[in-house]
Amino acid sequence: MEFKKPRTIYDQIADHICENILLDRWPAGERIPSVREMAIQAEVNPNTVTRAYTSLQELEIIVNQRGKGYFVAADSREKVRKMKRTEFVQEDLPALVKTMELLGISPDELADMIEMARETRKDFEDETER
């Protein structure tokens, strides 16, 4: 996992878990890596992972089954989707609009760019599957 500023590392770990839930890699009821396993994967202190897991528990995205570990909550996919959409509209979209205005990119041009990016992404995914 590569960490980026300005988000905290524990927020980025939580984002990683949410992305896996949205991609259905970790469906509802699925056990997620333990704190120790995730700390090793992410190469961070277990306390950092604990903080990420605690925040996701408070949002009812994951649940802790004592003695068994952490599991994806039943309705987590919709909760994550709703949370990430709100985040996008409040944080990412205003920054995107500002950048578009600064660079003189019209909504139509952006739509074309998005389509090209989707095609490039699809081509890349097709190649990696071979």
Looking at the structure, do residues 49 and 107 belong to the same domain, yes or no? no
Looking at the structure, do residues 64 and 92 belong to the same domain, yes or no? no
Tokens in use for 55? 């925040």
Distance of alpha carbon 12 from alpha carbon 19, whole angstroms: 10
Distance of alpha carbon 18 from alpha carbon 111, whole angstroms: 26
Looking at the structure, do residues 14 and 70 belong to the same domain, yes or no? yes
Give tens-digit pLDDT for 47-90: 999 999 999 999 999 999 999 999 999 999 999 999 999 999 99
Looking at the structure, do residues 55 and 70 belong to the same domain, yes or no? yes
Among 75, 100, 119, the domain boundary falls at 75
Looking at the structure, do residues 38 and 61 belong to the same domain, yes or no? yes
In a domain, 3, yes or no: no
Distance of alpha carbon 50 from alpha carbon 55, whole angstroms: 9
DSSP state, residue 61: S
Band of residue 122 on the pLDDT scale cut at 50, 70, 90: confident
Distance of alpha carbon 28 from alpha carbon 77, whole angstroms: 8
In a domain, 65, yes or no: yes
Q: Which is more confidently placed, 122 or 114?
A: 114
Give tens-digit pLDDT for 106-115: 999 999 999 9
Q: What percent of the chain has pLDDT over 90?
A: 85
